[in-house]
Chain A
Amino acid sequence: MKREAKLSTRNSSLSAPRSPLRDFLRALWAIVWKDLSAEWRSRELLTAMLIFSLLVILIFNFALELDARARASVTAGVLWVTFAFAGTLGLNRSMATEKDRGCLNGLLLAPVDRSAIYFGKAIGNLIFMFTVELIVLPVYSVLYNINLFRPGLLLVILLGSIGYVAVGTLLSTMAVQARTRDILLPILLFPLIVPVMIAAVKASGGFLQGLPWIEVSTWINLLIVYDVIFVAVAFMFFDYVVEE
């Protein structure tokens, strides 16, 4: 009886004054928290990304018997190939979790701006990507005997990862609704991320070879422009991508 009385007087979530920005940030943070908590329990996504990344750099290490000079020139390529493929695994898994039990519908039913869902998922994916990169970089440094902890290179990794995840999150949301989602994402994603891959590889290579800032800045600017464009495009189109 007491419980019924308590339940029947509830409607506070409807009557309370609402701030769109606060609702947006609350929903965004809720999604990030949910993704991190679920991953902390299962460790499925990070384990898959990490094992894959470490295997790739190990295989490259044995396949390419490189001298010190050649190593500096191929490092950027090997790193970004590793990040791109591992990132695809992560993006696929992250969205598959939403689709498997119909949870994507649960998100879409919430009375929040749908771009909050996009940004929440994208920030979660970015954290997973950074975590993998943070582990791969020292392992790569040891295996290839090259110092990768340079501020310029870290900036490129930051910008490149943002561009990759911005477009990857949008496309994985599209791909997850298809039966062939596992193969569809790379087919859609890789052609679109060619500009970011080229810019990231060129800029990373420039920093590793000690080129002056002026020679690298063009690629950095391209990365920034690419990031801004894709975040804006995803912000505008996410609603249409998820709508039936």
Chain B
Amino acid sequence: MITVKKLVKRFGPKIVLRGLDFEVESGEFVALLGPNGAGKTTFLRILASLSRPAMGEVRIAGYHLPGQASAVRRRLGVVSHQPLLYGDLTAEENLRFYGRMYAVSDLNARIAEVLDMVGLAPRRRDLVRTFSRGMQQRLAIGRAVLHDPDVMLFDEPHTGLDQDACVMLDTVLREVAARGRTVVMTSHDLARAADMASRFDVLSRGKIVASVRRDEMDTTDNLLAFYRDAVQEREA
């Protein structure tokens, strides 16, 4: 579903991604782990077609970036730590707006389904600026799945959420992943990632330095040890 070969991204003289290779099969849930500044967000922005690679090949669902960005965008749902929602619109109006942008058919019914899925149906007519951070993040997930994308990109979706909101968000994330979508999620929270992902890739200094499947990691402690080893080896 996602194929990335020898990806390079520069910001001026600074090289952020250094020949990164990455492959995700359809239906996989990949947790992308790495220290701050490893290039996780930059990588996700390239996959989301928000940033242009300097070199390398990126293909999503058979379409290449940036040449076929519009076809890729139609198949992508993106959730970041920012909600990408308008505070002065209601939850329903936000979804209606994005539904029109994605040309979603039967929009009213779809909005009702999505609000129901993220547990915000009773608050549909409330302004988003009155929502808690957790509610905004759940609505952000609703916005991202509104057009029924094949691929979901989550960029540290738990940032700034309290424990209760994280648990609620996890429930929605699991529901999204359970529908057979391909998911790539960056996270600093290894325990949360361990709970949901089917594969863990470690990104350090602009490259994927290690990868392991969930069935090869029986405990969160093992995952933590694996992560530390991978990062330290790269740093050395």
Contacts and interface: CB of A to CB of B under 8 A. Distances in A.
Interface of A: 3-4, 6-8, 10-14, 16, 18, 23, 26-27, 29-31, 33-34, 37-39, 41-42, 97, 101-103, 105-113, 243-244
User: Which range contains the number of B residues in contact with the other chain?
Assistant: 35 or more
Given A110-B102, A112-B70, 7 more contacts: A11-B148, A29-B100, A30-B97, A34-B86, A101-B82, A103-B85, A243-B52
A97 B129 CA distance: 12
A29 B97 CA distance: 10
A37 B93 contact: yes
12 contacts: A3-B117, A7-B113, A10-B148, A13-B103, A14-B75, A18-B103, A34-B93, A34-B97, A41-B89, A97-B86, A108-B49, A110-B101
A109 B105 contact: no
Nearest to A35: B86
B204 to A, nearest CB: 22
Q: Is the interface of A mostly helix, strand, loop or mixed?
A: helix
Contacts of A38: 86, 88-89
Contacts of A108: 49-50
B157 interface: no
A105 B103 contact: no
A42 to B, nearest CB: 5
B74 A41 contact: no
A38 B128 CA distance: 11
Contacts of A106: 84-85, 98, 143
Nearest to B78: A109
A102 B86 CA distance: 9
